[in-house]
Amino acid sequence: MARRQPPRRNVSSFLDHPSSARRRTRPHLLANEPFDGSIVQSVPVAENAPVEIHKPSWSERREASGERAKKKAELEKTRYFSLDQTQPIAVKDGFVTFTMHFKYLGSFISYNIREDFDIDLCIKKAGQAMGALKLFFNNKHVDTYTKLLIFKAILL
């Protein structure tokens, strides 16, 4: 049983439809207007015409004030004090001097309160571990799922 094909329509008959004619006539009006290069069109106003100036309402002023206060509080939270010249501290057998980085709760704290040193160290350790297992990951006899589990165990 053969499928019945819908009748083919001529493209020009489709464009002659009244609804499409309306869509076709509008774009050419815009295309014939010269483009002066400006996006905003200026409208001439008489000299004595009243100009409306937007005055922020009480709620808008209050909201803006709240936003400024939040920004100020955020800046105050991020302050830190840097001690450029420190003195060595005597502890039992030796002295503790200025240190660039120290380990606290498993991660390194730097003298400038940035995390660059800690992140670089983690990347370096992961690279060393992956390099040590290069032969393991290139082995064709090891299952891909096993390689995935080892990979996750190293990075996490």
107 Cβ contact list (under 8 Å, min separation 6) = 115, 118
Task: Write down the mean pLDDT value for the chain.
Answer: 71
Phi, psi of 104 (to 5 degrees): -140, 120
Is the pLDDT score of 115 beyond 60?
yes
Strand, helix or coil at 16? coil
* Residue 11, H or E segment: helix 11-15
CA 134, CA 144: separation in Å to the nearest integer?
14
**Domain locations along the chain:** 89-155
Phi, psi of 107 (to 5 degrees): -125, 160
Residues of the chain with pLDDT > 90: what percent? 1
55-98 pLDDT tens trace: 778 788 888 888 888 877 776 665 656 666 667 778 888 877 77
DSSP states of 80-122: ----SS---EEETTEEE---SEEEETTEEEETTS-SHHHHHHH
DSSP 39: S
| Residue type for position 27 | P
73-85 pLDDT tens trace: 776 665 656 666 6
Give residue 56's pLDDT. Answer: 76
Count of all residues that appear for the chain in the document: 156
13-39 pLDDT tens trace: 555 555 544 445 454 455 555 555 555
Q: What is the mean predicted confidence (pLDDT) over 124-134?
A: 83
Give residue 145's pLDDT. Answer: 92
pTM: 0.34
Among candidate residues 109, 119, 45, the one with its CA nearest the CA of residue 80: 109
